[in-house]
Structure 1
Amino acid sequence: MISPPQRHSHLDALAMTLMVGLCALWGLNQVAAKLANAGISPVLQAGLRSGGSTLLLMIWCRFRGVRLFDADRSLKAGLAAGAMFSAEFALIYWGLEYTPASRAVVFLYTAPFVVALGVHWLVPSERLSRVQSLGLACAFGGILLAFGDNLSLPDHRQMIGDAMLLAAAGLWGGTTVLVRSSRLAAIRPAKTLFYQLGVSAVALPVASLLLGEQGIIGQPSALVWASLAGQIVIVAFASYLTWFWLISRYPATRLSAFSFLTPLFGMMFGAVLLGERITWGLSGAMALVAAGIWLVNRK
């Protein structure tokens, strides 16, 4: 019998350090995905990433003695989490065909509010106070400051993309709530990740075909394959495993507040590595996000 993980009511220094590191990695992943897009279509790329990471995870679990196929009443919740994870990525990449990435970020990062509402009803011990809710709004204000100059009244095509990104945000937040409030909260983080990677490794290549993607484009360069390999090993395997370990031990909403850092890190890495433009409000955005995270996590 596996004993349930020790739960913490607040984030300690370890959790906060890990979350900042994860957000930096996920921001860097945005650059890696753009590089890999030159040779592999986006949804297929996400599917290949999940497939490679699933194999790594199975090898890691074999050496660690983690049993992935024991009956523990987590199958239904696990398959649901995997399906939501797959649909989230399909909607993100499909939605980006209709609306610019800088606009999509604003809608996608409504996900922490979904987490806050979900745990409010399903996990009473993690309900946010009014000040903490204000902190979430403050952090989201940072995203608006950084990316809000790309917002305008949408045309019909952008409305479709915006709706897809909002749906993806709902799935992202809903997956976190499901993991925290279901049987998945009591199993090993590696098995929770296995459900998501395994299902998406099958579903996303199928979605790629249905969306009419090109798939492998020409002869991908070594940089394309290196970018994909980095996503497989560092992002989808190591960082996601760490994320599920954190969810199993710390309040989900407090952790989710840190996710507002990810697009800001992505903006900085894009400027350094790809020569992309940085908006004038980045410094103010960082300050607002940091203030919001502090309000959410203060004791």
Structure 2
Amino acid sequence: MAAALLMLGLTFSWGLNGVAVKLSNEGFSPVLISIARSSIAALCVFAWCRWRGIPLFERDGTLGAGLLAGALFGLEFVLIFWGLDFTTVARSALMINTMPFWVLIGAHFMLGERMSLLKLGGTVLAFAGVALVFSDRLSLPDPEALKGDAMCLAAGIAWAATIIVIKRSKLSSASAEKTLLYQLAVSAVITVPLLGLSGPAIRDPDVLSTSALLFQAIFIVAFTYLLWFWLMRRYPAGGLTSFAFLTPAFGVLLGGLLLDEPLSPRIFAALGLIAAGLVIVNRPTRKIPPA
């Protein structure tokens, strides 16, 4: 029961994150937000590791994979933040949360994890939902939103690629804190050269946009990510990942409720298809006992 309540809180927080990004974009450029978010969160995670005595600097063969994972992490969040300059929170939440399906495809070809027909069916459902989002004109704020949708879809692919890198490398046996710190520290550094791409770094900062940025860095990244890793160690992964469909659901609803974004019937239909796909692909595979 406690794990279920925590997962509800986490998925709600991750759904709310899109709203926070949209608000912080009012005060700062997307690339600056990515740099600041990763930098602040990295300092918080580093302080946590020092307090808990978690080793970070021993040679364990994770450096190369850590640098690659960090680069992908940085690309993912630049695409998300920049994409939200163009599209809505609801549409972006559906695009980003296609990640499990890209992982499923990547694992089939790169990790030797065979995709069952049932999981293939779940993936097809999800991509039907993606097609609905791109075809929906009622929730489209303007034609440039399609650019933001594509960016957020690419962010979901980058997120999946990060997971594949972790699974294929020695990062899979490293502590969650070290893996997260690689992603935060590397992404903060490598995105600096991109600072001029999304316009002026400082737009119109105020209390709300600054608070939204700090909320993302301190609460979403430094707290909820570590809490997620703690839950993954303590409880069966299958039970936790069954909550995955709630993140896009909360993202769609919170975008409509808090930002007054248009929510068309087609967006809700897309949410239903993607949620159904998530439930299917996260179902544990039944193992047939030997005869």
Determine the structure 2 residue equivalent to 1:190. Answer: 177
1:27 aligns with 2:15: yes
* Aligned-partner Cα distance in 2 for 1:150–1:247: 39
Select 1:207's aligned residue among 173, 181, 194.
Answer: 194
Contact kept in structure 1, 2:31 and 2:198, CA below 8 Å: no
Query: Identity of paired residues, percent?
Result: 42
User: Which string of whole-angstrom CA distances, capped at 9 and with x for unpartnered residues, describes residues 163-189 of structure 1?
Assistant: 655543332210011112211110100
Paired positions, count: 281
TM-score, with normalisation over the residues of structure 2? 0.79
SS at match of 2:195: helix
SS in 1 for 2:191: helix
Matched, 1:267 2:252: yes
Question: Structure 1 248/181 Cα, relative in aligned 2: closer, same or farther at 3 Å?
Answer: farther
Q: Please say if residues 103 and 148 of structure 1, whose CA atoms lie closer than 8 Å, have aligned partners that are also in contact.
A: no
Q: 2:158 matched to 1:168?
A: no
Q: State the TM-score, normalized to the length of structure 1.
A: 0.77
Q: Which amino acid aligns with 2:165?
A: L
Q: How far does residue 264 in structure 1 lie from its aligned partner after superposition? A: 3.1
Q: Equivalents in 2 of 1:254, 1:137: separation in Å?
A: 23
Give the gaps of 5 or more residues in structure 1: 1-12
Q: Which residue of 2 aligns with 1:41?
A: 29
Match of 1:7 in 2: none
CA distance in 2, matches of 1:233, 1:295: 33
Deviation of residue 269 (structure 1)?
A: 0.7
> Does the Cα contact within 8 Å between 2:82 and 2:198 map onto a contact in 1?
no
Letter in 2 for 1:217: R
Q: Helix, strand or coil for the counterpart of 1:216?
A: coil
- Which string of whole-angstrom CA distances, capped at 9 and with x for unpartnered residues, describes residues 52-99 of structure 1? 1111101111111111111111111001100111122233444566x6
User: How far apart in 2 are the matches of 1:51 and 1:41?
Assistant: 15
| Correspondence for 1:180 | 167
- Note if contact 1:44-1:208 (Cα within 8 Å) is conserved in structure 2: yes
Q: Which amino acid is 1:23 matched to?
A: T
Change (3 A) 1:51 1:24: same
* Other structure's SS at 1:178 match: helix
The one-letter code matched in structure 2 to 1:71 is R
* CA distance in 2 between partners of 1:162 and 1:282 (Å): 13
Q: Tell whether the 8 Å contact from 2:103 to 2:160 is kept in structure 1 after alignment.
A: yes
Matched with 1:280 is 265
In the TM superposition, residue 18 of structure 1 has moved relative to its aligned partner by 5.5
Moved more, 231-240 or 162-171: 162-171
Determine the C-alpha separation between the residues in 2 that align with 1:250 and 1:168: 28
Give the Cα–Cα distance (whole angstroms) in 2 for the partners of residues 290 and 280 of structure 1. 15
